[in-house]
Structure 1
Amino acid sequence: MRIWALPLALLTLAGCVTQSVPRRQQPRSPVAPFRIFVVDPLTLARQLASIQAGWPRSRKFDCARLKCVALTFDDGPGRYTAKLLDILRRRDVRATFFVVGQMVAADKGGRTVRRIADDGHELGNHSWSHPSLTGLSQQELKRQLKYTENIVQRLTGVRMRVMRPPYGATDDDVAAETRREGLAQILWNVDTLDWRDRVASIVAKRAGQAKPGSIILLHDIHGSTVDAVPAMLDALAKKGYTFVTVSELYGKTPAPGRRYTER
C-alpha cells in the first residue's frame, strides 16, 4: 500500500461501524444511541491488522479428544474486568466475554474491551441494555444487537460471531434475528449463580462441577467472582481440563441462530 493511502484506509475503517413467552410487546422507551469515540491512528492500524489476520486466532485445540471447558463472563466490562484479565494473562487462559453495549460505552473510550480483544479472548454480544429479548419488538431486538455490534467493531475491529441472550431468554423470533445478524446463541450448562451468592469459595466449587465440553456461566461485574477465578482454575486444571473460548470448544465458529449449551 502506498504511504498516502494508509491514512485513507484507516479513516475508512473508523467510519465502519428457553423459553416460551407471551406475545412480544412494543418497548416503552427507545434505546439510547451509543456514543462515538475518536480512536487514534495507531489503534486503528492495529484494528486493520486484526481484521486482515482474522480474529480471534484459534489455538487449534481438539476438544473431541481433550477435556475442554469454556469460561464465559457476562455483563461487563466492569470495574473488576481488568483484574480478571490480569489473572487470565498470568495463567495463559482464554475466555469468552459477552459484553453489554452500554457498559462498553461507559468504559473510558473502550480501553477494557480493546484489551479483551488484544489479549486473545473472544468477544460476544450481550445486547445493548440487557433486556429480556423475548419481550421486544423485532425492530427493538435488532437495535439491541446492532448497537452493541457497531460499538465493539468501532473500538476493536472485531466482528462478533456469538451472542448470549440476557437471562438466557430466547424464542423463535430471537433465533431468527440472531441468524440474520450472523450470531450463534450461546447458553450454558454450568450456572455458578455468582450473581446471587457473592462468595468466592461457593462460586469456585460450583464451577468445579463442570464436565468435558461444559460452558460455565460467570459475571465479571462481581468482585467475588473474580476472586474465585484462581481457585476455580486450579481445581479444574488439577482435573486435566483445558480452558478454551466458545469457538475453540466447537473447533469452528458456531452456526448463526442456533442455540448451544455445551459441546
Structure 2
Amino acid sequence: MRSQDVPMAVPARTPPHVDPKALAAKLAAIQPQWPKSRYPVAPAERHIDCKRVKCVALTYDDGPGEYTGHLLDILAEYHAKATFFVVGQMVAADGPHNLRRMVSEGHEIGNHTWSHAQLTALSEAGIKGELSRTQQIVHYATGRWMTLMRPPYGATNQRVSAVARSKGLAQILWSLDTMDWRDRDSLVVTQRAIGAARGAVVLMHDIHPTTVQAAPKVLERLTAAGYTFVTLSEMYGKALTPGKEYFGDAELDHRVAGKGRASIRLRNTGS
C-alpha cells in the first residue's frame, strides 16, 4: 500500500470545508453499527520517568487494517504500549473496534491524515481537511481528540506546522526507520528495530503482515535488553507543543527547535 518511493510532486487538492455535525451524520449512515455512546475507558495513567528508565516508543502507521488486531494481541501479551498513527480512510473502512481496543488497552492514537496525502503539496485548506476529517472520525469512534500527528513521508513545512498548531497537534517524526514498507522481511525488520537506542521513536507499519510477524521477537529482544515500551506522551512526560516537530532524539529535538523552523524533509519512506 505504501511500497512505492515517495512522489516528488503531488497535485494539490483542496477538500471542501468539513462541518463536524454533517460528518458525524454521514459516518452514522456509513457505519450504522458504530454505537454513538459506550466509549472505551482508558486504564489508569502510568507515571514512568524515562530519564531513569530505558524507554522506547514503538509507533505504527497507516492502519488500522486486517493485521492490527493481531498486533494488539501481541502487545497485550508483552504488556507493551505503542502509538498508532491512523489514516482516516482506513478507520472508515475498518470500523471502531480496533481503535476502541487501543484506547481501552492504554495505547495512544495519532493523526496520520485522511488519505495519506503529502501535506506540503496541499493548500492550507487542503491540509486542514486532511487533519480535521481524521480528528472527527477518531473522536466519533473513541470520544477522544488526538493531540499528535505524523505528516506522511515526514514531509512538513511552515504551512503544515501552522495548521498543526491551530489543530492542537504536535508533529511526531522518528529517530529509527525500520524501512518495513520496503523490506517485507520479518527478520530484517526485527534486526533493525532491536537496534533502537534509549528514547528512540521507532517507525513501523501495522498494514504489513511481516511487520506484525516481527513484533514478538522485537518485544522479546528489547525486553531482554531492559527496555520499557511506552507511548509517546509517556516518553516525553509532558504536554507536547502543538506544531512543533519531535523526533525522539533529544539532541535533534533541541537542534530543530533552535532553528525556529526546519526545512521540508521529504523522506524516502512509506510512512
Which of the five TM-score ranges fits, normalised by the shorter chain?
A: 0.7 to 0.9
Among candidates 239, 243, 250, match of residue 257 of structure 1: 243
Equivalent position to 2:169, from 178, 183, 197: 183
Aligned partner (choices 84, 92, 100) of residue 105 of structure 1: 92
Does the 8 Å CA contact 1:184/1:254 hold for their aligned counterparts?
yes
Shift of 1:164: 0.4
The residue correspondences of 1:27-176 to structure 2 (distance < 5 A) are 27=13, 35-36=27-28, 37-38=31-32, 44-47=37-40, 50=41, 57-107=44-94, 109-176=95-162
SS of equivalent residue, structure 2 residue 100: helix
CA displacement at 1:208 relative to structure 2: 1.0
What is the CA–CA distance in structure 2 between the aligned matches of 1:230 and 1:40, rounded to whole Å?
31
Distance 1:160 1:28, change over 3 A: closer
Identity of aligned residues (%): 50
Work out whether 1:224 is the aligned partner of 2:213.
no
TM-score with structure 1 setting the length? 0.83
Which of 183, 205, 221 lines up with 1:197 in the alignment? 183
Partner Cα separation in structure 1 for residue 12 and residue 204 of structure 2 = 30
Aligned to 1:85, what secondary structure does the other structure show?
helix
Equivalent pair of 1:191/1:217 in contact (CA under 8 Å): yes
Structure 2: any 5+ residue segments left out of the alignment?
A: 1-7, 251-271
Change (3 A) 1:216 1:28: same
Aligned residues: 234
Q: Report how far residue 29 of structure 1 moved.
A: 7.0
Q: Which residue of 1 aligns with 2:266?
A: none
The 8 Å contact of residues 43 and 105 in structure 2, kept in 1 or not, is answered as: no
Residue 182 of structure 1, CA deviation: 0.2
Q: TM-score of the superposition, structure 2-length normalised?
A: 0.81
* AA in 2 matched with 1:213: G
Check whether the contact 1:133–1:170 (CA below 8 A) recurs between aligned residues: yes
Q: CA RMSD in A?
A: 2.3
Task: List alignment gaps of at least 5 residues for structure 1.
Answer: 1-20
> Could you list the per-position Cα deviations for residues 123-152 of structure 1 after superposition, in whole angstroms to 9, with x for gaps in the alignment?
000000001000000001000000000000
Partner of 2:224: 238
For residues 231 and 121 of structure 1, what CA distance do their matches in structure 2 show?
20
Residue type of the alignment partner of 1:137: S
Supply the distance in 2 between the matched residues of 1:73 and 1:144 (Cα, whole angstroms).
19
Larger deviation: 215-224 or 31-40?
A: 31-40
Indicate the residue corresponding to 2:258 in structure 1.
none
Residue 62 of structure 1 aligns to a residue whose secondary structure is coil
Maintained 8 Å contact 2:114/2:133: yes
